[in-house]
Amino acid sequence: MRIGDLSNDGAMPALEAMVRFAGGRQRLIAHNISNISTPNFQQVDADPAEFQQSLGRAVDRRRKSGTAGSGLSIENRAGTGVRQNADGSLTLDALAKKPSRNILFHDRNNRGIEELMSDQAENLAAFRVASDLLRSRHDLLRMAIGERV
The predicted pLDDT at position 41 comes to 80
CA 49, CA 51: separation in Å to the nearest integer?
Answer: 5
Checking if the pLDDT of 130 tops 90, the result is: yes
Q: Which pLDDT band, with edges at 50, 70 and 90, does 82 fall under? A: confident
The per-residue pLDDT of the chain, averaged, comes to 79
Q: Where do the domains of the chain lie? A: 3-101+111-145
What amino acid occupies position 30? A
pTM: 0.78
Rounded-to-integer distance, Cα 141 and Cα 10, Å: 12
Q: In the beta sheet, which residues pair with residue 83?
A: 91
| Per-residue model confidence as pLDDT tens digits over 29-66 | 999 999 888 888 888 888 888 888 888 888 888 888 77
DSSP 78-125: TTSSEEE-TTS-EEE--EEPPP-SSPPPTTS----HHHHHHHHHHHHH
